[in-house]
Amino acid sequence: MKINWIINTNGDETLHQYCVELEYRLRPKIIKFLISRIDPDCCFDFSCFHFDIDVVGRKIQLSKETPKQYYTLIEAEFPKKILDFSKI
State pLDDT tens for residues 26-71.
Answer: 899 998 889 888 876 777 788 899 999 988 888 888 999 999 988 9
What's the rounded Cα separation, in Å, for the pair 88 and 55?
Answer: 13
How confident is the model over 38-48, as pLDDT tens digits?
A: 876 777 788 89
If one counts the domains in the chain, the total is 1
Whole domain around residue 41: which residue ranges? 2-87
What's the rounded Cα separation, in Å, for the pair 19 and 35?
Answer: 24
Is residue 53 within a helix (H) or strand (E), and if so which, with residue range?
A: strand 50-54
- At residue 87, the pLDDT reads 56
Alpha-carbon dihedral angle through residues 59, 1, 28, 51, given to the nearest 10 degrees: 10
- Does the model's pTM come out above 0.85? no
* Sheet strands side by side (includes 2-6): 2-6, 50-54, 59-62
- At residue 16, the pLDDT reads 86
